[in-house]
Amino acid sequence: MARNKEGLVLLLDVGPTMYSVLPEIKKVCSMLIQKKLIYGKFDEVGVVVFGTQETDNELTKEVGGYEHVVVLRNIKVVDGDLVDAFQELPRGNFDGDYLDAIVVGMDMLIKKYQATNKGKKRLCLITNALCPIKDSCEGTKEDQVNTIAAQMSAHGMKMESVIVRGRLCGGGDQRIMAENDRLLNLFSEKTSARAVYVESPTALLGAVKTRNISPVTIFRGDLELGSKMKIKVWVYKKTSEEKFPTLKKYSDKAPPSDRFATHEVKVDYEYKSVEDPNKVVPPEQRIKGYRYGPQVVPISSAEWDAVKFKPEKSVKLLGFTDASNIMRHYYMKDVNVFIPEPGNARAALAVSALARAMKEMNKVAILRCVWRQGQGSVVVGVLTPNISEKDSTPDSFYFNVLPFAEDVREFQFPSFSSFPASWQPNEQQQEAADNLVKMLDLAPSAKQEALLPDFTPNPVLERFYRHLELKSKHPDAAVPPLDETLKTITEADPDLLSEKKDVIDAFYNSFELKENPRLKKSSKRLLEKKRSGSDEDCQDTTNALAVKPVKVEKIGDSSPVQDFEAMMSRRDSPDWVSKAIQDMKNKIYSLVENSYDGGNHGKALECLLALRKGCILEQEPKQFNDFLHHLFNVSQEKKLRNFCESLIPRGLTLISKSEAIDSEVTDDEARNFLVKKELKFDYTEFLLKLSEIRHILFMLPFPAPTRTDYGLDYEYKAVTLAKGEQFSKEFEQLNPLRYVPVLVDGDVVVSDSLAILLYLEEKYPQRALLPDDPRRKALNLQVASIVCSSIQPLHMLGLMKRIEEKVGPEEGLLWAQSSIEKGFFALEQLVKDFATRFATGEALYMADVFLAPQIATVVMRFNIDMSNFPILSRVYESYKTVPEFRASSPEAQPDAGS
């Protein structure tokens, strides 16, 4: 058996109260397996779920009992199937008994490994421990736990329990919870088990150790308190950065037919003389040179060994000092931990006494450490006490490296008191800041501390491994968006922000920020501004036009328009015009791109106007027209729609034939360029609202066709299903089936979303919803049809109610989830070769009109884990950038919340 091979059994509670966190559990388990596939390919994993209706485990066959515990997978070597297995995690409908599951898991480990693999057997339990465990026939529950814990210790097993609490479990019987907590903590006391409580999805993702690294001591020996006393200690790393994996370089030189190709790339180094590049020096003929001023002093490693600093391996105490003398920001590196030599009770006692005395007196110790013999440097660091809260764990110390005199750069900074009065906060501002610091609290006393480093997963690595998994299935998969749960790490928690909105608003209103008007260089950084001061800037640049500098060679930051015109007018080389146009394009692009709240838009527009003028003058219409198209697409993608809007009043459109003879654009086309885009969105908004399933749209006095230039006006009328409005008389006249929606166009009445859209497609062809290409057209109809007939009806409220009545209270949701996932898998397959920005291409088509609300609804109502559907997720992200979609999402409806 390989030395570091681990045997792990995951014990997952899938009872009804766990439904809300199952997606997170899937994620963290997949992550665990994905990492094992890379770092622990020989590790073996078994999966047990409990709280299921079925019972399937060996113990129940052998001795009876152990009901509602299913062995999903026996202990075997990790493989790709296991990752997939979590995607179909069953949902149970019984209250799980975690103690039964633990025993089943132990039984599996014992049968698999017997006495071998000591210390490498691990149980990992994830539960909310809301349900009581069964009473035992022999002895109390405590006795039961004690017996099990003793067995665990005897077999050298470890256990990790992740207990889901707080807002994740919705609360339960306090008495039962307290009992379970006591029992689970009893494990921690009696055997090597660890119980952690998590209250947020993020913490759940971080609570399970996804990678097992066997700890290695960096020092074993004496901690010397002077020459008279020594304490035997072992030093380990306490923190160590888990690095992004180093990927190998890939060679595509081997022919594709070569099935044994390694595709590896060898990197070879050759050392050549600087003066004579033909002369290759063999590696052993090299010698290291160290710079000393303009000189280079050659010293061979061996010489160096002879003269270098050679301290003796030792860890010596220099003294104690007040903890306040060591500021936190002087900690230099990752942290070590000093533990007393295992099995040495006297060392443990000595460490305990020192640590506790230091804690009481608020002192720290300063040490000088040389970890290894032959190490060429020493470290000086600070030892701080770590008082153990667990009886079985000895007290220890943390050790942080401190800087040497050479490592500190003593820069002088101005005192805040020397700043002008306008930079000093006044009383009211200080109060606003106090409130913000007080109220934006991540560690409120009633709740668990949010973003505790110990429970915060690394979002980048999580994303990497998920991407790897996706790519293993679909080699062309795009990088998935950052997991929603993990967004609370990279951005402020929206719940917290909305909860403390008044405090934030007060803070916001107390201070004023504005861009420095005297700023010469526009920085490339995003500059979010409170109140746009860009008008001033534009003024400056236009005024500056009067003064013409000579020989401008590139477009600067301060007066781009002026520079551009100067460059265009240079006649000393024909290249200047194209260079000027190119430079200006880049400038505009960077202005638009780097403007957050429209701060640079004014400037960008001025530049665009100048560019247009220049292109007409120099008869380069294509340059400008292409650029404008490009800019348009970019701004749509980047949510910079307001930039496009601001083009209209300034008449910034394509250059037409009448302006420049080379142009391929007619006057009409030019005029409609901006308008058309506008129309597209209004129409889309309308369509999206139309297909919003929960609502009805009816009584629609359609406008005269002449008005369609400006979009379709319609009256929106909601029927709230929950109130049963669809059963009203009035509605029945329109739609006998009483399903929504219904379209009333003059005297034409059409119900059923698909039919409505096809009707509109025929009648109002100015915005086609179906592409011309028959293949794509069919694809769109297929998507629409799948949504309409194979997904949407299967999760209608009525049906679910019915199932719940007939089958069982939890079955409704289960039914809906499985139908939706089935449908989504089909959709994902269907569109995978076509989807780019939207489901069937770059533009919004009928498929999107059906998909958008469908995805929004199911994500909200049925808690579907969209990470299984990377394409749909991506497309869905694009929908969110379409403003009309946001406006028509269920939450934004006029009748939302009723």
Partner 1 sequence: MELDPDDIFKDDEDDPDSEFYQQRESSKEFVVYLVDASPKMFSSTCPSEDGKEETHFHIAISCIAQSLKTQIINRSYDEVAICFFNTREKKNLQDLNGAFVFNVAEREYLDRPTARLIKDFDGIEESFTKDIGSQYGIVSGSRENSLYNSLWIAQALLRKGSAKTADKRILLFTNEDDPFGSIKGVAKADMTRTTLQRAKDAQDLGISIELLPLSQSDEEFNVSLFYSDLIGLEGDELAQFMPSAGQKLQDMKDQLRKRMFTKRIVRRITLSIANGLSIELNTYALIRPTLPGAITWLDSVTNRPLKTERSFICADTGALMQEPAKRYQPYKNDSIMLSVEELSEIKRVSTGHLHLLGFKPLSCLKDYHNLRPSTFIFPSDKEVIGSTCIFIALLRSMVNLKRFAVAFYGSSSRPQLVALVAQDEIISAGGQVEPPGMHMIYLPYSDDVRHVEEIHSDTNAGAPRATDDHIKKAAALIKRIDLKDFSVFQFANPGLQRHYAVLQALALDEDDIPEINDETLPDEEGMARPGVVKAVEEFKLSVYGENYDEESDMGNGKASDASKKRKTAAENAAKESASYSWPDLADNGQLKDLTVTELKYYLTAHNLPVTGKKEVLISRILTHLGKSCIVMMSISA
Please, which of residues 340-399 interact with partner 1 by CB under 8 A? Answer: 341-350, 352-358, 360-361, 363, 366, 368, 374-378, 380, 384, 386, 388, 390-396, 398
Tokens of 711: 């979009």
| Only segment of 303-311, 687-695, 764-772, 847-855 that touches partner 1 (CB under 8 A) | 303-311
755 in Cβ contact with 749 (< 8 Å) = no
User: Least distance to partner 1 from the beta carbon of 518, Å?
Assistant: 10
One of 19, 39, 197, 320 touching partner 1 (CB under 8 A): 320
Q: Which is nearer to partner 1, 138 or 410 (CB)?
A: 410
Q: Which is nearer to partner 1, 144 or 840 (CB)?
A: 144
One of 305, 499, 715, 833 touching partner 1 (CB under 8 A): 305
| Only segment of 59-67, 238-246, 558-566, 567-575 that touches partner 1 (CB under 8 A) | 238-246
Tokens of 893: 């409806």
Q: Which is nearer to partner 1, 597 or 682 (CB)?
A: 597
Check residue 76 for interaction with partner 1 (CB under 8 A): no
Site residues (CB under 8 A) for partner 1, limited to 149-168? 153
Check residue 303 for interaction with partner 1 (CB under 8 A): yes
Check residue 891 for interaction with partner 1 (CB under 8 A): no
Check residue 789 for interaction with partner 1 (CB under 8 A): no
Q: Give the SS3 label for residue 63.
A: coil
Site residues (CB under 8 A) for partner 1, limited to 486-515? 486, 489-493, 496-497, 504-505, 507-508, 511-515
Tokens of 143: 């006795």
| Only segment of 59-67, 233-241, 550-558, 662-670 that touches partner 1 (CB under 8 A) | 233-241
Which phi-psi region, left, alpha or beta, contains residue 897 (left: φ > 0; alpha: ψ -120 to 50)?
left
Omega of the bond leading into 340 within 30 degrees of 0 (cis): no
Check residue 86 for interaction with partner 1 (CB under 8 A): no
Cα–Cα distance, 248 to 135 (Å, whole number):
55
Binding mask 263-282 toward partner 1 (x if CB under 8 A, else -) reads xxxxxxxxxxxxx-----x-
What values do phi and psi take at 50, rounded to 5?
-135, 160
Site residues (CB under 8 A) for partner 1, limited to 728-757? none
| Only segment of 57-65, 251-259, 852-860, 865-873 that touches partner 1 (CB under 8 A) | 251-259
User: Least distance to partner 1 from the beta carbon of 763, Å?
Assistant: 43
C-alpha triplet 418, 419, 421: angle, nearest 5°: 115
Nearest residue to 472 via CA among 37, 861, 790: 37
One of 137, 307, 550, 704 touching partner 1 (CB under 8 A): 307
One of 55, 200, 210, 888 touching partner 1 (CB under 8 A): 210
Cα–Cα distance, 555 to 314 (Å, whole number):
62
Check residue 227 for interaction with partner 1 (CB under 8 A): yes
Site residues (CB under 8 A) for partner 1, limited to 566-625? 596-597
One of 213, 755, 778, 807 touching partner 1 (CB under 8 A): 213
Work out whether the CA dihedral 669, 673, 675, 679 comes out positive or negative: positive
Helices (H), 744-897: 753-763, 774-785, 797-806, 811-831, 846-862, 870-881, 883-888
C-alpha triplet 54, 57, 58: angle, nearest 5°: 150
Q: Give the SS3 label for residue 384.
A: strand
Q: Which is nearer to partner 1, 490 or 706 (CB)?
A: 490
Q: Which is nearer to partner 1, 236 or 576 (CB)?
A: 236
Return the amino acid letter for 206: G
User: Least distance to partner 1 from the beta carbon of 252, Å?
Assistant: 7
Site residues (CB under 8 A) for partner 1, limited to 29-48? 37-38
User: Least distance to partner 1 from the beta carbon of 328, Å?
Assistant: 6
228 in Cβ contact with 329 (< 8 Å) = no
Q: Which is nearer to partner 1, 786 or 875 (CB)?
A: 875
User: Least distance to partner 1 from the beta carbon of 596, Å?
Assistant: 8
Cα–Cα distance, 882 to 685 (Å, whole number):
9
Q: Which is nearer to partner 1, 146 or 542 (CB)?
A: 146
Contacts of 818-825 with CB under 8 Å at 24 or more apart are: 819/790, 819/791, 819/794, 819/795, 820/791, 820/794, 820/795, 820/858, 820/862, 820/864, 821/864, 821/868, 823/786, 823/787, 823/790, 823/791, 823/794, 824/791, 824/864, 824/868, 824/869, 824/872, 825/868, 825/869
Tell me the number of residues near partner 1 by CB under 8 A.
Answer: 227
Site residues (CB under 8 A) for partner 1, limited to 393-452? 393-396, 398, 400, 402-413, 415-416, 419, 422-425, 429-430, 432-434, 436-438, 440-443, 449-452
Buried b (16+ CB within 10 A) or exposed e, 19-43: bebbbbbbbbbbbbbbbbbeebeeb
One of 64, 259, 309, 551 touching partner 1 (CB under 8 A): 309
Q: Which is nearer to partner 1, 68 or 500 (CB)?
A: 500
